[in-house]
Each structure stands twice: as C-alpha cells, then as structure tokens.
Amino acid sequence: MKLLTTNFVQCTVKACASTPNCFPLHFDQQTDELPLELVHEDIEFSPEFIYNILPRIDWPALLTTSRELGNNLLPEQKPNIENPNAPENDQILRDLHTLLLETQIMQGSMRCNSCGHIYFIRDSIPNFLLPGHLVQ
C-alpha cells in the first residue's frame, strides 16, 4: 500500500462516518501481532504528477501520517507551487514523490481514533472488511 493511499481512506465503521476522528487512520508503530514494515520502491520521478495530486492531498493528515512514520521533512504549510518544472520547487516535489509514491507499507496496522478499530495491512494490502457486529 503506497503512503499516498492513506490520504484517501478513513474508518469504514458506520458509526464513525459522522465523526472527524475517523480520518486519518493512525499507524500503530509497535504491535506484536503485525509490526510495521516499510520498503522503498524506486519509481520514476514525475513532477507533473505530484503537482497535479497536491491539491487533492489533505495536508494536515499527511503531516500526521508522515510524522507517525518518522518523516519530519515536510513543511507545516502545504506548498504553493505554480510551476512544477521551476528549479526552486524541485526538492519539495522530490520529497513528496519519495514519501507518497516510493514509500510502500508492506505490513502493519492502522487504527481509527474514533472507535479504535484496527485495520491490518498484509503483503501491502489493507483489509477494510469489517466483522459483522461493526457493519450495522
């Protein structure tokens, strides 16, 4: 699961849909059952892609997620990039590319701050299926 994906998912428990704490899901760093495993995957850099996806990114959620994973390189405010090919934007676009597209979560778990439900990630695939008692 690419880190970019985490910026677009929230808790699927119906009771959480109306609460602001269902997003973002938080990574549990140390769990005995499924420890967090990240890998780096080389992907060709495309400044235009990052430039075009940037308006869709929930910046506070991305900051939270990146810090939970130990990345403190992102600025507090979302960058205002007018030209993706301008030299002064190269480093921030590369940092975002590395974080969003090259960071692969192979295993671990994400937790909802509202209800506490844990979503496991195995073989880079998050399991968002809910047990029967949480579906209603």
- What is the pLDDT, as a whole number, of residue 47? 94
- How many degrees, rounded to 5, is the angle at CA 111 between CA 106 and CA 115? 155
How many domains are there within the chain? 1
Does the pLDDT at position 85 exceed 70? yes
User: Which CATH number belongs to the domain containing residue 71 in this structure?
Assistant: 2.20.25.10
Give the domain range for residue 22: 3-135
Task: Kindly state the average pLDDT of the residues 46-52.
Answer: 94
- What is the pLDDT, as a whole number, of residue 31? 61
The alpha carbon of residue 58 and the mean position of all alpha carbons in its chain are separated, in whole angstroms, by: 10
Handedness of CA 97, 100, 101, 105 (dihedral sign): positive
- What is the pLDDT, as a whole number, of residue 29? 66
Interval 7-35: pLDDT, tens: 999 998 988 888 889 999 998 766 667 78
Q: Are 63 and 7 in contact (CB under 8 A)?
A: no
Task: Kindly state the average pLDDT of the residues 58-66.
Answer: 95
Beta bridge partners of 27: 110
